[in-house]
Amino acid sequence: MQVMVGISDMKVSNDLESVLIAYSLGSCIGIVIYDYAAKVGGILNSMLPESKLNPGKAKKNPYMFADTGIPCLFQEAYKLGANKQRMKVLVVGGSQVLGQEEFLNIGKRNNIAATKILHRNNMLIDHSDVGGIVNRTVRLEIKTGDIWIKNSGAEEKKI
């Protein structure tokens, strides 16, 4: 069963039939986590780097921001039996949106924010596919832990 992870959304699952998928990540940043032993995984699709940009919106929807969404992603995975030491972590997206001025490069800022938050919490990034000007779709198969990334204009590849 495919479960879509929209913009400013998060899904975590231990349902072996679930395939989590975030379509067309542009400047948004996707954080994918998976614990192979517990067979628990999740995807966060954050639109903006820091909740200080709009604390009110962050309170209503913490997934909108990397700094509030990433802790939620891990907390939900832990509730389903995931363990931090076994967690595989991927960062996907953070593209430069065409027509966006360099100083507004939300994609780059999202990637920097996500990387800082993960490192601050002693989480190593196992793989990243970020930057550039391409959209990316990422999917996570809960049963196997297989993670697939498709860049626009390219074949889907297993990570």
**pLDDT of the chain, 159 residues: tens digit per residue:** 999 999 999 999 999 999 999 999 999 999 999 999 999 999 999 999 999 988 999 999 999 999 999 999 999 999 999 999 999 999 999 998 766 566 578 899 999 999 999 999 999 999 999 999 899 999 999 999 999 999 988 899 999
Is residue 17 within 8 Å of 32, Cβ to Cβ? Answer: no
- In angstroms, the CA 136 to CA 152 distance is 6
Tell me the two tokens of residue 42: 């999740």
Quick one: DSSP state of residue 75? H
Q: Read off the CATH number of the domain in which 38 is found.
A: 3.30.1330.200
Quick one: DSSP state of residue 4? E
- Structurally, the chain folds into a number of domains equal to 1
Range of the domain at 64: 2-158
Is residue 41 within 8 Å of 77, Cβ to Cβ? Answer: yes
* pTM for this predicted structure: 0.94
